[in-house]
Structure 1
Amino acid sequence: MTLHSETLLDHACLIVHGPDQPGLVAAVTALVTRNKGNIVSLDQYSSDPEGGDFFQRVVFHRPDLLATLPDIEADIEETLRPYGMQWRLTDQSIPKRMAILASKSDHCLLELLWRHRRGELPVTIPMVISNHTNTAEDVRSFGIPFFHVPSQGPDKTEAEARILELLKGNVDFVVLARYMQIISEDFLDEIAVPVINIHHSFLPAFIGAAPYRKAHERGVKLIGATSHYVTKDLDEGPIIEQDVARVNHAMTAADLQARGAYVERAVLSRAVQWHAEDRVIRHGNHTIVFTDRP
């Protein structure tokens, strides 16, 4: 049992979203009380009180939670059905299983492994998969299995089939830590779990190879990174987190790339943590992210 699972023993997280209407907050808080739960935190957002959408995240403590979960779930379903709400309930003491896909670049990969070892990410990491072998020793030094799945040429069918064989049924979500391969729509349908990506914020202004060189030639004053969920539309999925850093004329393309790598690591780590803590609600091509950040 990890430190995270110990501190969140008997804690549940309830996510609710659907059409906004009177009585929702009272209904949710009453059902928690009815089931002998004590609310630890509650965040909510309404896009419009008249005809808008309602989103809520409630964390509550309930002694002997595991034994009572079926009864609580039945009560939630009965309570929220008349409101037409969607919901999910998770035991916060159970860390999500996160697989990482990587390529040659190691900065995002190692950041996630380091934060995981420090107990900052409430996840387990059953495996790292890469289409290169240069990070194998680093990954194994963290005690995490490493799998090499080559992916060359335009046809990725065989590589994706092997990755799916490793992942299906073994993970709750997947992180692309600068995995420099395009993920097919068929892969996303088959894996059927969320996939989180990180990329530099220059897209689409500096698309393709050597984006930092192109940005340097253009004389940019800001660089940044974006973490988002992967969809069939390349780099257009719902955004989880973004950040920027200032640069100036004296910096080389290599300087920009180094500073960009720092921002990428931070942005991806925050996105992973918030997803793992059930702080992100997907709504169409948008996200509602309940954090203490503005």
Structure 2
Amino acid sequence: MSAASVNGTAATGGFRTLTLSCVNRPGIVAAISHKLFELGANITEAQQFDDTESGKFFMRVVFSPFEGWKPERLIPEISALAAEFGMTWTIKENARPTRVILMVSKFDHCLVDLLYRWRVGELAIEPVGIIANHPASVYEGVDFCGIPFHYLPVTGSTKAVQETLVLQLVEETGTELVVLARYMQILSNEMAAKLSGRCINIHHSFLPGFKGARPYHQAHERGVKLIGATAHFVTHDLDEGPIIEQDVERISHADTPEDLIRKGRDIERRVLARAVRYYTEQRAILNGRKTIVFLD
């Protein structure tokens, strides 16, 4: 069965990105290229991957209006082509920022970093809300730039109600991506299912070796030589969703637990920012328990 997600309208100009996946067969690239040519579009970037293990084909195409551009035919004709090949596909207008909700707990380093990258134009996002399970006073000194702040505390007995409120905000704001910017709460299976494919988490890469409290202290006690971070799509499997981005940094015997924490936070910031950028630029495509990431 094919599925389509269309962001923006076909009537305006500017660059667009088409992503697709389907069972591999001859003629897919030719069909897409010819169809875009017929519609008066000029392909400026194209990436593809044939997954021989699953037999699936993945493609990302950036195109812009050219001579004879027929915007009113774009969605209907791509839809028809997708039905023919059994494609799952999306089209996004590149100039339109992705509507994002940022969720945070006590540690705000990832939140602050994402807000900065948004302010300077590095990330094409539109933050429509910040959700925290701590009051605003915890984030004294953080400039929320007028973004609505929602204090939604959560306990074991209130988790279902709190998640209902979160999903209401997602729906009301037209949120396309939820970012767990060091949100130190486990989402319920129901919540993870409803946000499937549009929720990104960040965590240190010590799992599953060092679980629980004080993981950097545990790592220091074991004398680890590399620390890192992982950004992934959220699923019902805790911290085991499809990986989008990872990074590591070498450390030495001279580093204290505090050094590890400082360096770890820096890795978390940059890994999460890259993962969010890959998502907004339509570079990350789900492939079962893995992702296809078309790097620039």
2:6 paired residue number: none
1:253 paired residue number: 257
Q: Distance in 2 between matches of 1:222 and 1:144?
A: 36
Whether the 8 Å CA contact 1:222–1:245 is kept in 2: the answer is yes
Identical-residue share of aligned pairs (%): 44
Indicate how the Cα distance of structure 1 residues 64 and 91 shifts in structure 2: closer, same or farther if over 3 A, else same: farther
Indicate how the Cα distance of structure 1 residues 9 and 77 shifts in structure 2: closer, same or farther if over 3 A, else same: closer
The Cα offsets for residues 29-84 of structure 1, whole Å up to 9 and x where unpaired, read as 10111000011100011123x9821110001001699x954411211122233322
Indicate how the Cα distance of structure 1 residues 83 and 117 shifts in structure 2: closer, same or farther if over 3 A, else same: same
Answering whether residue 76 of structure 2 is matched by residue 92 of structure 1, we say: no
Whether the 8 Å CA contact 1:16–1:86 is kept in 2: the answer is yes
Whether the 8 Å CA contact 1:16–1:87 is kept in 2: the answer is yes
2:181 paired residue number: 177
Q: Distance in 2 between matches of 1:118 and 1:51?
A: 40
Whether the 8 Å CA contact 2:200–2:234 is kept in 1: the answer is yes
Whether the 8 Å CA contact 1:10–1:64 is kept in 2: the answer is no
1:214 paired residue number: 218
Indicate how the Cα distance of structure 1 residues 82 and 191 shifts in structure 2: closer, same or farther if over 3 A, else same: closer
2:150 paired residue number: 147
Aligned-residue Cα RMSD (Å) equals 2.1
Letter in 2 for 1:25: V
User: May I ask how many residue pairs the two structures share in their alignment?
Assistant: 282
**Unmatched 5+ stretches in structure 1:** 1-7
SS at match of 2:128: coil
Greater Cα offset, 268-277 or 155-164: 155-164
Whether the 8 Å CA contact 1:98–1:125 is kept in 2: the answer is yes
What are the residue-to-residue correspondences of 1:222-237 with 2, within 5 Å? 222-237=226-241
Indicate how the Cα distance of structure 1 residues 250 and 88 shifts in structure 2: closer, same or farther if over 3 A, else same: same
Indicate how the Cα distance of structure 1 residues 224 and 193 shifts in structure 2: closer, same or farther if over 3 A, else same: closer
The structural deviation recorded for 1:258 is 0.3
Q: Distance in 1 between matches of 2:67 and 2:263?
A: 47
**Unmatched 5+ stretches in structure 2:** 1-11
With normalisation by structure 1, the TM-score equals 0.90
Q: Distance in 2 between matches of 1:208 and 1:153?
A: 18
Q: Distance in 1 between matches of 2:67 and 2:16?
A: 11
The structural deviation recorded for 1:152 is 2.8
